[in-house]
Homo-oligomer: A and B are copies of this chain.
Amino acid sequence: MVVATQSLEELCINSIRFLAIDAVEKAKSGHPGLPMGAAPMAFVLWDRFMKHNPKNPKWFNRDRFVLSAGHGCMLLYALMYLTGSDVVTLDEIKNFRQWGSKAPGHPENHITEGVEVTTGPLGQGIANAVGLAIAEAHLAAKYNKEDCKLVDHYTYVILGDGCNMEGISGEACSLAGHLGLGKLIALYDDNHISIDGSTDVSFTEDVSKRFEAYGWHVLHVKDGNSDLDEIAKAIEDAKAVTDKPSMIKVTTTIGYGSPNKANTAGVHGAALGGDEVKATRENLGWNHEPFVVPDDALAHFRKAVERGASYEAEWQETLAHYKTKYPQEAAEFERIISSTLPEGWDKVLPSYTPEDKALATRKHSEITLNALAPVLPELIGGSADLTHSNLTYLEVSGSFQKGAYQNRNLRFGVREHAMGAICNGIALHSHGLIPYGATFLVFTDYMRNSIRLSALSEARVIWVMTHDSIGLGEDGPTHQPVEHVASLRAIPNLTVYRPADGNETSAAYKVAVENTHGPTLLALSRQGLPNLAGSSIEAAAKGGYILSDSDGTPDIILIGTGSEVALCVQAAEKLTSEGKKVRVVSLPSWERFEAQGAEYKESVLPKAVKKRLAVEAGCTMGWCRYVGDEGGVIGVDTFGASAPANIVFEKYGFTVDNVVAKAKEILG
């Protein structure tokens, strides 16, 4: 297929293709197939529809674009470069997949300004996009006025077969259909190829029909390789339907243009190789050297700069008008989108004394969320169908539903993984929004990758995880977390809190709200826990502190978290009555504690005091770090059991007597 002269649009599309081909070739690593096949649809989208300001990737009212098929990131980097990004320069593209490049192997929002969300793990992106669309709908419902559309942008996604096979995408798209998110438009790169070959190997469902079943508006572009107008018309039709999300199935050829590798699995994830690069150049009539973009194509793409500046200027006028006419709403709006917390917001955090009623920390969490909700309108979230178990309902608002997008209670349904990615999308839409997602701690297993991504992409999300140990009782081992707190602590940049009482729960929320560079996860009890003498928000915010101390150097330090701190306190009383010098340390968050200065940490856990006993109803992995060679741990290293909580705790050794006995063993 030799092309004599190419139209301007073909030049542009091939510019995208060859930047991808050449970058992958130079890196000898990467995924050229999708960029080559999806270049036409991406070009139409970015050229004719996407409203963004290449010079200000943080302009609030930009359309959001998500490449859910994140492996195809050279497509995104190419578009960013071509449209004038100051971040993804040609040098960065030449440095694709190399140390320090702003064009890394999969798109990372925290590395490359202009990338909205971190994708790569399939299905995450489309679910993030549902979150981005939820954020837009919510902010629009809250702030827009008849005469002032402050919030008005689309969320576009390109996803492929891989994303469509993943369960998380089904969950998210089912919810999006239910919510009628009309400004979410997904382009499904229908190329019939996945890593293992033709989709006939394992994926033969009727995807369009499934999306119709979800309540989406579904279109089909039969020739996604060449019919640009067909693609454009489909996007226009999609935009015209305002009460349903739209899925445009765009049939393409993966690796389009490569004479020998197009339409094969081989072109998905490996460089073409020198010979095939040459053959593709010949095939598509592309004479340019690697990384050289024809002037007229570049000039055309760069019109996005002027267009973008103009869009933003227009919006700034709208904002100015809004500020004059609606000063109160404007102040709140600007405060939120600038990620500024309101003055004195943390004064509403409840504090407690031991005289206050013993409550489950999930109950304290509910109280705290509801104390924060009126003061922090940016707080929005919900549970994966466990609202009245997780206790996450904000009384000051209603459920976020079609026709009621101003509401703040998100009803995710039994869709933990989608909930995770949706919360990430909300957090990354506007860094001021503070989403929270909740389920049982054991079901973090269902959403671990989205929790991981919240940490990797530095998204401020609050993960509210209740029923945190064998203490949940009768539901038994399928529901009782054992390894979860430890395994979550292992995730970099995830702050894990297991609060012991009301003050510690308030502290966890304080830390979570202020943690603008990452997520915080709260592990909360099902069962009631006493408010402890010695606890305070200030102390617990340090992650670890002395709850009660001995006169002089302790003989032994008891370290507890969550529901086991009270046990340590009781054991300490017993040991003290027998003449031992006991310090009790509460360590609700390892990460926060480690972030304190060396002096503080030494004051809480002095090196010289080697006899230590940690008590936590969870697996013992990692505790050696705090108890050392001479210390011990009472934990749970086997699965739980179905029985009333008090029986399970007793059988598993969580009794005052056992703590005392173990402490005495250590004391020798």
Which of B97, B166, B170, B414 has a CB less than 8 Å from the CB of A162?
A: B414
Q: Are B202 and A178 in contact (CB under 8 A)?
A: yes
- Among B29, B161, B413, B448, point to the contact of A194 (Cβ < 8 A): B413
Verify if A637 is at the interface (C-beta below 8 Å from B). Answer: yes
Listed stretches A43-51, A483-491, A548-556, A564-572; interface member: A483-491
Within 8 A of B (CB), among A607-662: 619, 621-622, 624-625, 628-629, 637-639, 641-644, 647-648, 651
Q: Does A399 contact B (CB under 8 A)?
A: yes
A167 contacts partner chain B, Cβ-Cβ < 8 Å: yes
A207's nearest neighbour on chain B, judged by CB, is: B213
In the complex, chain A residues 65-95 whose Cβ is within 8 Å of any chain B Cβ = 70
Q: How far is the CA of A66 from the CA of B383 in the complex (A)?
A: 27
Chain B residues with CB below 8 A from A644, complex form: 29, 97-99
Q: Is the CB of A643 within 8 A of B449?
A: no
Q: Provide the bound-state CA to CA distance between A163 and B446, in Å.
A: 13
Does A201 contact B453, Cβ atoms closer than 8 Å? Answer: no
Asked if A213 and B209 sit within 8 Å, CB to CB, the answer is yes
CB-CB < 8 A to A491: which residues of B?
483, 487
Q: Which residues of B contact A474 (CB under 8 A)?
A: 27, 29-30, 97, 105
Residue in B closest to A618 when the chains form the complex, CB atoms = B490
Q: Does A291 contact B (CB under 8 A)?
A: no
Task: Check A174–B205 contact: CB distance below 8 A.
Answer: yes
CB pair B492–A122 under 8 Å, yes or no, is no
- Asked if A374 lies at the interface with its beta carbon under 8 angstroms from chain B, I say no
Report A185-216 CB contacts with B as 1/0, cut-off 8 Å. 00000000011100001111111111011110
Alpha-carbon gap, A478 to B69, bound state (A): 13
A383 to B97, CA, bound (A): 26
Stretch at the interface among A13-21, A357-365, A385-393: A385-393
Binds B, one of A113-121, A277-285, A320-328, A329-337: A113-121
Residues of B within 8 A of A638 (CB): 492-493
CA distance A529 to B85 in the complex (A): 41
User: Which residues of chain B are within 8 angstroms of A178 by Cβ–Cβ distance?
Assistant: 202-205
Candidate in A161, A170, A207, A625 with the most chain B CB atoms within 10 angstroms: A170
Whether B108 and A477, one on each chain, are in contact in the complex, defined by CB atoms closer than 8 angstroms, is yes
Complex: how many Å from CA A639 to CA B120?
Answer: 15
A171 interface contact, C-beta 8 A:
yes
Asked if B175 contacts A171 (CB within 8 A), the reply is no
Interface set, chain A 127-179, CB cutoff 8 A to B: 161-163, 165-171, 174-175, 177-178
Q: Let me know if A385 and B196 touch, CB within 8 A.
A: yes
A490 contacts B621, C-beta separation under 8 Å: yes
Closest CB of chain B to A181's CB: distance in Å?
Answer: 13
Proximity bits, A206-230, B CB within 8 Å = 1, else 0: 1111101111000000000000000
Please tell me if the beta carbons of B473 and A453 are within 8 angstroms of each other in the complex: no
- Report Cα–Cα, A347/B450, bound state, in Å: 43
Would A105 and B213 count as touching, CB distance under 8 A?
no
Q: What are the nearest 4 A-B pairs in CB distance?
A: A167-B167, A120-B478, A104-B642, A487-B487
A-B residue pairs in contact (CB < 8 Å), sample of 21: A30-B474, A97-B474, A97-B644, A99-B644, A118-B478, A121-B446, A162-B385, A163-B414, A167-B169, A168-B446, A194-B385, A195-B386, A201-B413, A202-B385, A206-B212, A209-B210, A209-B212, A448-B448, A621-B621, A622-B624, A628-B629
> What 13 additional pairs, Cβ within 8 angstroms, besides A166-B416, A453-B478, A621-B625?
A30-B474, A99-B648, A99-B651, A121-B442, A165-B174, A167-B169, A178-B203, A178-B205, A194-B413, A195-B389, A455-B639, A621-B622, A624-B625
